[in-house]
Chains A and B, each alone.
Chain A
């Protein structure tokens, strides 16, 4: 019986192999994350993220952070626990945004001819940066889950206000006051997405007057805390290293 010998005999060769491994695996991982996270996010936050006239003060603010934290939390576990790399959330969110921009430009504008300003995705990078940096500073899933996830939910709306505020300027149209976002939704005909199908400004936060955003954002952060731990757990379950003994 022959002796099994490694093909790698020098440190330089080892370095080259490690580098080649990175070059092969990282692009694949990035593409898989973009695809999987994109599908997940479109199925959960879909229309709220597609259309400017769905980005309201209650549902969009609540739904987006909660459903968005699933993949970043799972990848936090994978990258931190096994590699001590604190970029799981940013990788997820930047990948998702890259995929979304391709989809918006090619599908919504290129195929369906909607104006691009009507379908700009929500800005989610600041939330991801906060989650990653809290993990890096604290080196703790517990602290990241409690503090990072809460900030994650809280800063979503202010981080997007710079983008959506121009579309909330009022306009008088055929005797009605509408926001510019409402007017765009009305003007650019969507046969399958009638006005009533928008889930916006519904709820029981009327006692908070105009200040419904902080309440929605806090609630989003609160639920994100729990969601973070659940998905860290799922990440743990899926990121187990198992030696295959027999094929």
Chain B
């Protein structure tokens, strides 16, 4: 016969062991979990760099890069009418010292133009020891976080050495780590003691539950007689005392801090960067995703309105880069940086100034599967998007956004 207690004990033990053995630190921020069409056709990040990947507590790290708001924005995703440049890190491993979008301070949320490019810079100061995968990140109201490329960063040192000092407009230099804490605790302790005294006064009236319950039922409508005049006097003292202390504390605080402002909730408007295409146009003629070959194949009509011949060197989408090493090279920054170093091939060669040419491009890599981009063919909006990087003889780049319907090839 089944022994219930024993079975439960074994189950609990088994689950505990499985969880204990399997449980591992969270290594990333779910960057692969968002739908492929969302990652390919919302915010396209590029040139993202961090100034260092190893630093001590109190050292600074600067993250820079650019982002392009894709022109063919998915209809079911909210547009960036209100957005905030953020950083994807597990809690405040860093404090943000400054952030800029096109040189404008990013302390406030802002709106962005679809089809435009912006550059950003975030200055961070290391606060505690940790090894983290940090991301550039854009929070978009009603759309959620749009995650940029990640980098592994290691902070060493002791958090106790960290300080975060600022000087107020009233001339006081404060450390944000501890500012005002003693005062807050003092007030909470004060009121906590009063509350405890009030509760203990009633609890120490003897056994209170059963005797008082019985008495209330016994006295019926006269149960209020259980409250003595002394107790009502105590209540009056408590009422007046509470109001007096609150009033005094308010005016005393006003005197201590005569200059205060409300929380700030403004918005900024930031104009975009100039056109990054530099006169190059590209229009997708057709596009297919070859499931078995893990390859995106597309034909694109390219018109070169610059003064130099150009060649295709890179395609990037969803933070993955497919490189054409004959034109441009890049290596992964770390173990989680998806760069297909030899992933892009194309037919059509050089596009000369004034010429319009059909290029047949193939982007192949396991990243289509490992980064769940191949799922785009199962998305509710099966269109793809990305950035093409054309290079002239002097390595000057023309960056052109492309996109369109994507047809899967299953066989």
A172 proximity list for chain B (CB < 8 A): 169
**A-B pairs with beta carbons under 8 Å apart, 26 shown:** A57-B263, A84-B215, A85-B208, A93-B195, A94-B192, A112-B92, A117-B181, A120-B184, A120-B185, A125-B195, A126-B191, A133-B235, A134-B235, A136-B231, A137-B232, A161-B249, A168-B257, A169-B257, A170-B259, A171-B168, A188-B176, A189-B94, A189-B124, A195-B109, A196-B83, A198-B265
Judge if B247 is at the interface, Cβ distance under 8 Å. yes
B192 proximity list for chain A (CB < 8 A): 94, 97, 125
Please state if A116 and B181 are interface contacts (CB–CB under 8 Å).
Answer: yes
Query: Which A164-200 residues have C-beta < 8 A from chain B?
Result: 165-184, 186-192, 194-198, 200
Tell me how many residues of B have a C-beta within 8 Å of chain A.
97
Please state if A128 and B235 are interface contacts (CB–CB under 8 Å).
Answer: no
From A14-22, A35-43, A229-237, the one touching the partner chain is A14-22
Please state if B239 and A134 are interface contacts (CB–CB under 8 Å).
Answer: yes
A84-B226, A94-B196 are known contacts. Are A188 and B95 too (CB-CB below 8 A)? yes
A57 to chain B, nearest CB (A): 6
- A117's contact among B124, B141, B184, B212, by CB below 8 Å, is which? B184
A18-B211, A165-B257, A177-B264 are known contacts. Are A112 and B169 too (CB-CB below 8 A)? no
B78 to chain A, nearest CB (A): 12
Judge if B29 is at the interface, Cβ distance under 8 Å. yes
Q: Which of B90, B195, B265 has the most chain A CB atoms inside 10 A of its CB?
A: B195
Query: Which A72-128 residues have C-beta < 8 A from chain B?
Result: 81-87, 90-91, 93-94, 97, 101, 111-117, 120-121, 123, 125-126, 128
Judge if B7 is at the interface, Cβ distance under 8 Å. no
Judge if B84 is at the interface, Cβ distance under 8 Å. yes
A130 to B229, CA, bound (A): 18
A171 proximity list for chain B (CB < 8 A): 166-169
A183-B176, A195-B109 are known contacts. Are A166 and B183 too (CB-CB below 8 A)? yes
Q: Which residue of A lies closest to B170 (CB)?
A: A169
What does the 1/0 interface line of B159-200 toward A look like (CB < 8 Å)? 100001011111010101111110111011001101110110
Judge if B8 is at the interface, Cβ distance under 8 Å. no
A111 proximity list for chain B (CB < 8 A): 91
A123 proximity list for chain B (CB < 8 A): 187-188, 191
A128 to B179, CA, bound (A): 28
Judge if B383 is at the interface, Cβ distance under 8 Å. no
Please state if B245 and A126 are interface contacts (CB–CB under 8 Å).
Answer: yes
Q: Which residue of B lies closest to A198 (CB)?
A: B265
Judge if B88 is at the interface, Cβ distance under 8 Å. yes
Please state if B209 and A25 are interface contacts (CB–CB under 8 Å).
Answer: yes
A residues within 8 Å of B by Cβ?
15, 18-19, 21-22, 25-26, 53, 55-57, 81-87, 90-91, 93-94, 97, 101, 111-117, 120-121, 123, 125-126, 128-130, 132-134, 136-137, 139, 151, 155, 158-159, 161-163, 165-184, 186-192, 194-198, 200-202
Please state if B207 and A19 are interface contacts (CB–CB under 8 Å).
Answer: yes
A162-B187, A166-B180, A182-B263 are known contacts. Are A87 and B198 too (CB-CB below 8 A)? yes
A72 to B184, CA, bound (A): 24
Q: Which residue of B lies closest to A135 (CB)?
A: B235
A167 to B168, CA, bound (A): 10
Q: Which of B92, B127, B172 has the most chain A CB atoms inside 10 A of its CB?
A: B92
Please state if B199 and A91 are interface contacts (CB–CB under 8 Å).
Answer: yes
A93 to B164, CA, bound (A): 33
A200 to B262, CA, bound (A): 10
Please state if B89 and A176 are interface contacts (CB–CB under 8 Å).
Answer: no
Query: Which B53-102 residues have C-beta < 8 A from chain A?
Result: 82-84, 86-98
Please state if B97 and A187 are interface contacts (CB–CB under 8 Å).
Answer: yes
Judge if B250 is at the interface, Cβ distance under 8 Å. yes
Q: Which residue of A lies closest to B205 (CB)?
A: A85
A198 proximity list for chain B (CB < 8 A): 263, 265
A93-B195, A155-B246 are known contacts. Are A189 and B87 too (CB-CB below 8 A)? yes
Please state if B249 and A159 are interface contacts (CB–CB under 8 Å).
Answer: yes
B91 proximity list for chain A (CB < 8 A): 111-114, 189
B210 proximity list for chain A (CB < 8 A): 18, 21
Q: Which residue of B lies closest to A20 (CB)?
A: B207
Please state if B176 and A192 are interface contacts (CB–CB under 8 Å).
Answer: no
Please state if A136 and B177 are interface contacts (CB–CB under 8 Å).
Answer: no
A87-B198, A120-B188, A189-B92 are known contacts. Are A170 and B247 too (CB-CB below 8 A)? no
A82-B216, A170-B169, A189-B96 are known contacts. Are A137 and B88 too (CB-CB below 8 A)? no
A18-B209, A22-B207 are known contacts. Are A165 and B253 too (CB-CB below 8 A)? yes
A134 proximity list for chain B (CB < 8 A): 235, 239
A121 to B192, CA, bound (A): 13
Q: Which of A87, A129, A170 has the most chain B CB atoms inside 10 A of its CB?
A: A129
What does the 1/0 interface line of B233-244 toward A look like (CB < 8 Å)? 011101100110
A189 to B190, CA, bound (A): 32
Please state if B199 and A90 are interface contacts (CB–CB under 8 Å).
Answer: yes
B202 proximity list for chain A (CB < 8 A): 85-87
